[in-house]
């Protein structure tokens, strides 16, 4: 099976799983593998019940319910990724943009499974901008790594991002509340104050952010218009 066929197979499998669990599959589901990252970008995916709840401004409940279901599905998707690519998945992330009706799944692999995408974008400028916006919300991360996945997908990994009050909230069991609040706040700042369109010379379609609180890490996906 070629690399492209593997990506298509994983995309098809994820679409079928989402349709089975939510009663409606996504309009599009595209998987890309670059070195040791796999990214699946999903568009046009809202269940009828989620649609109604969002109409009434119940974003928090939709976010929580979907997080529970997707986290459950990710274990099975992880297995499919490992068997299809012949690698181990060491981390995974997911996030959803309900206003844009889009989402992303991100898998970090233990070994390289795809060709590296060579970019001419100034990665240092990207990381300086991510650090600048991060500081506006909380603090400059201890470490920032950028992974170009394709001409339209860039992953940014931030390590050492939690401040002391956030760590205390996690220890006291307020992880879900913190995740929801950080999601809204960070996305607002990155969309409103970020200068990414100047850096990439392309318009930004989506910005996704997820966290691994135990490892004090965050993974961000910037989706650019092709």
Q: What band does 47 get if pLDDT is binned at 50, 70 and 90? A: confident
Q: What is the pLDDT of residues 131-169, one digit of tens each?
A: 999 999 999 999 999 999 999 999 999 999 999 999 999
Q: What band does 49 get if pLDDT is binned at 50, 70 and 90? A: confident
For the stretch 44-47, contacts whose Cβ atoms lie closer than 8 Å and that sit 24 or more positions apart, written own/partner, are 44/101, 44/102, 45/18, 45/101, 45/102, 45/103, 46/98, 46/101, 47/22, 47/23
18-22, 93-97, 154-158, 165-169: range with lowest mean pLDDT: 18-22
Q: What band does 23 get if pLDDT is binned at 50, 70 and 90? A: confident
Average pLDDT over residues 61-69: 85
Note the pTM of the prediction, 2 decimals. Answer: 0.94
Average pLDDT over residues 121-137: 97
Has residue 81 got a pLDDT over 90? yes
Distance CA 196, CA 191 (A): 9
What is the predicted pLDDT for the residue at 25? 83
Average predicted confidence (pLDDT) for the chain: 93
Q: What band does 45 get if pLDDT is binned at 50, 70 and 90? A: confident
Domain boundaries, the chain: 3-109, 123-224
What is the predicted pLDDT for the residue at 110? 96
Q: What is the DSSP string of the chain?
A: --HHHHHHHHHHHHHHHHHHHHSS--SEEEEEEEBTEEEEEEES---HHHHHHHHTT-HHHHHHHHHHHHHHHHHHHHHHHHHHHT--EEEEEEEEETTTTEEEEEEEESS--BPPPP--S-HHHHHHHHHHHHHHHT---SEEEEEEEETTEEEEEEES---HHHHHHHHTT-HHHHHHHHHHHHHHHHHHH--HHHHHTS-EEEEEEEEEGGGTEEEEEEEE--
Please give the biggest Cα pair distance in the chain. Answer: 49
Q: What is the pLDDT of residues 102-118, one digit of tens each?
A: 999 999 999 999 999 99
Residue 165 CB coordination number (10 Å):
10
């Amino acid at each position: 099976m070629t690399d492209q066929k593997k990506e298509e197979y994983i995309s098809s499998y994820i679409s079928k799983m989402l349709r089975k669990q939510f009663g409606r599959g996504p309009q599009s589901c595209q998987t890309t593998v670059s070195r040791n990252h796999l990214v699946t970008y999903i568009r046009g995916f809202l269940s009828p019940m989620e649609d109604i709840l969002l109409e009434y401004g119940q974003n928090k409940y939709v976010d929580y319910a979907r997080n529970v279901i997707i986290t459950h599905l990710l274990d099975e998707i992880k297995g499919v990724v490992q068997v299809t690519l012949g690698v181990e998945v060491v981390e995974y992330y997911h996030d959803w943009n309900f206003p844009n009706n889009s989402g992303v799944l991100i898998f970090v692999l233990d070994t390289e499974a795809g060709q590296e995408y060579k970019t001419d974008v100034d990665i240092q400028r990207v990381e300086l901008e991510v650090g600048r916006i991060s500081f506006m919300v909380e603090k400059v991360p201890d470490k920032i790594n950028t992974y170009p996945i394709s001409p339209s997908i860039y992953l940014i990994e931030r390590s050492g991002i939690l401040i002391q009050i956030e760590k205390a909230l996690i220890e006291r069991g307020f992880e879900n509340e913190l995740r929801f609040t950080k999601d809204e706040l960070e996305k607002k700042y990155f969309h409103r104050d970020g200068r990414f369109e100047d850096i990439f010379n392309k318009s930004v379609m989506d910005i996704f952010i997820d966290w691994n609180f135990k490892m004090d890490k965050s993974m961000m996906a910037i989706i650019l218009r092709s």
